[in-house]
Amino acid sequence: MTVRVMGYRGGTRRVPGVAFRSHAPPAATPELSTVSAPSRVAAADEGIGADELALATRNHGMPLEAMRAEVTPPGLHYVLVHYDIPWISPDDPWPVSVHGLVRHPLNLDIEQLRAMPSVTHRVTLECAGNGRARLAPRPVSQPWLVEAVGTADWTGVPLRDVLAEAGVLPAAAEVVFTGADHGVERGTEQDFQRSLPLADALRPEVLLAYAMNGAPLPPQHGSPLRLVAPGWYGMAQVKWLRDIHVVDRPFAGYQQAAAYRMRQDPHDPGEPVTRMAPRALLVPPGFPDFMSRVRVVRPGPVRLEGRAWSGTAPITSVELSTDGLASWTAAALGPEPEQPWTWRAWHADWVATPGTHVLAARATDAHGRGQPLEQPWNLGGFCNNAVQRVTVVCVES
């Protein structure tokens, strides 16, 4: 496959509008490449455009009040689908091929996978683009604010059991996972594909998952089979998984070599996006204004609570600021999760006084990684774990 990094265009378009005009294809004998606009960043004064809105109305974050539950209830877990949701019949046997640098290529199907010994992991997943819409300038893509996260119980077969049955050959370097979702992205027609280095693919927690929260996968979460690689951002969690290919070199497919890299400009090869950076989120307290989402509380004690996670190491502390990030105090951590891939609860008590307050929380993990107050910028808007701010107005009742 030829990977093309389409030309970069700075934020020069002042007037995005919302009518669907900006990417209208030409009228006759079009080429596939014409359906894609080049990647770009928004102008400083540019609101969200029609293309970003079309993604935002299809995909969705997790309303932050859902952090009250350790396991996100069905339908509230964040969803990002690059192309369309493949519509698979429940009767589809769903053949899955395991091939490449293996002694015994396997042709499995969903029933065979369901018959193998299974495990269940409680895993927090986050989109690599979470927070993108808060960057300045804003990379034009799925415009996440901060809600692209969720936690579920995923049941399936450890990938390493399947790879052991196939017998990985010594020359193997990576495992490439292909999903059934098909589309065009920056001019490249593709099925969604991502790889894991072999050592990561062989970790015991990596699953071929067929159930979510005790039920078969919903269509938007990869029915009937998906990869779950705990600790990694969402792009690694290949949904509608239909092919597993063991290869001898780093995979150079579009989603690996062109997208999901931390670049400063399109000529920068960039670092790959891998595991989730630490992040704490706060359940916005009180009640909201419908349109501004500003929070209202009454004077007096307010329980502040939330969850925190990191893809590299357990969370060791969460600190809270109630004065606009001027000072920080330790929050109380909930019990250490039974599995290290699950977010950790935290809480703190605050006495609200009349006025306007900016609340914030920040997490640190066992590797000493924390959260920046202002996010270093990158072209794709990835791995943004800048500290969340929540504006609260305290009014007398």
In the complex, least distance from residue 147 CB atom to a second copy, rounded to whole angstroms: 5
Q: What are phi and psi of 209, to 5 degrees?
A: -100, 135
- In which residue are the tokens 């964040």 written? 78
Residues that bind a second copy (rule: CB under 8 A) add up to a total of 95
In the complex, least distance from residue 254 CB atom to a second copy, rounded to whole angstroms: 10
In the complex, least distance from residue 162 CB atom to a second copy, rounded to whole angstroms: 27
In the complex, least distance from residue 56 CB atom to a second copy, rounded to whole angstroms: 4
User: Which span sits near a second copy by CB under 8 A: 27-35, 95-103, 171-179, 260-268?
Assistant: 27-35
Report the residue number, 56 or 325, with the smaller CB distance to a second copy: 56
Amino acid of residue 227: L
CB contact at 8 A, 102 and 246: yes
Q: Which of 34, 107, 327, 329 binds a second copy (CB under 8 A)?
A: 34
Binding mask 188-227 for a second copy (x = CB under 8 A): -x----------------------------xxxx------
Q: By C-alpha distance, which of 46, 3, 365, 358 is closest to 185?
A: 3
389 counts as binding a second copy under rule CB under 8 A:
yes
CA 329 to centroid of chain Cα atoms: 29
395 counts as binding a second copy under rule CB under 8 A:
yes
Q: Which of 9, 160, 183, 325 binds a second copy (CB under 8 A)?
A: 183
User: Which span sits near a second copy by CB under 8 A: 166-174, 182-190, 198-206, 325-333?
Assistant: 182-190
Q: What are phi and psi of 150, to 5 degrees?
A: 180, 165
Report the residue number, 72 or 364, with the smaller CB distance to a second copy: 72
Amino acid of residue 81: V
Rounded Cα distance, 80 and 142, in Å? 8
Q: What are phi and psi of 83, to 5 degrees?
A: -115, -125
Report the residue number, 14 or 104, with the smaller CB distance to a second copy: 14
In the complex, least distance from residue 72 CB atom to a second copy, rounded to whole angstroms: 10
In the complex, least distance from residue 340 CB atom to a second copy, rounded to whole angstroms: 26
CB contact at 8 A, 135 and 382: no
Rounded Cα distance, 370 and 149, in Å? 18
In the complex, least distance from residue 115 CB atom to a second copy, rounded to whole angstroms: 25
**For every residue of 248-269, which 3-state class applies, written as one string?**
CCCCCCHHHHHCCEECCCCCCC
Return the residues of window 322-381 that contact a second copy according to CB under 8 A.
354-356
Report the residue number, 26 or 368, with the smaller CB distance to a second copy: 26
- In which residue are the tokens 């998906």 written? 226
290 counts as binding a second copy under rule CB under 8 A:
yes
Return the residues of window 231-270 that contact a second copy according to CB under 8 A.
none
Q: Which of 2, 31, 103, 199 binds a second copy (CB under 8 A)?
A: 31
- Cβ neighbours for 320, distance < 8 A, ≥ 6 positions apart: 282, 304, 328, 329, 330, 331, 348, 350, 359, 360, 361
Report the residue number, 2 or 29, with the smaller CB distance to a second copy: 29
- Cβ neighbours for 115, distance < 8 A, ≥ 6 positions apart: none
Q: Which of 1, 18, 164, 252 binds a second copy (CB under 8 A)?
A: 18
Return the residues of window 133-172 that contact a second copy according to CB under 8 A.
133-134, 136, 138, 140-141, 143-145, 147-148
24 counts as binding a second copy under rule CB under 8 A:
yes
Amino acid of residue 34: T
Return the residues of window 73-102 that contact a second copy according to CB under 8 A.
73-77, 79, 81-85, 87
Amino acid of residue 236: A
Q: Residues, the chain, total?
A: 397
Rounded Cα distance, 296 and 115, in Å? 52
Q: Is cis: bond before 224, omega within 30 of 0?
A: yes
- Cβ neighbours for 360, distance < 8 A, ≥ 6 positions apart: 282, 320, 321, 324, 325, 387, 388, 389, 390
Report the residue number, 42 or 246, with the smaller CB distance to a second copy: 42
185 counts as binding a second copy under rule CB under 8 A:
yes
Return the residues of window 44-73 that contact a second copy according to CB under 8 A.
44-49, 51-61, 63, 65-66, 68-69, 73
In the complex, least distance from residue 190 CB atom to a second copy, rounded to whole angstroms: 10
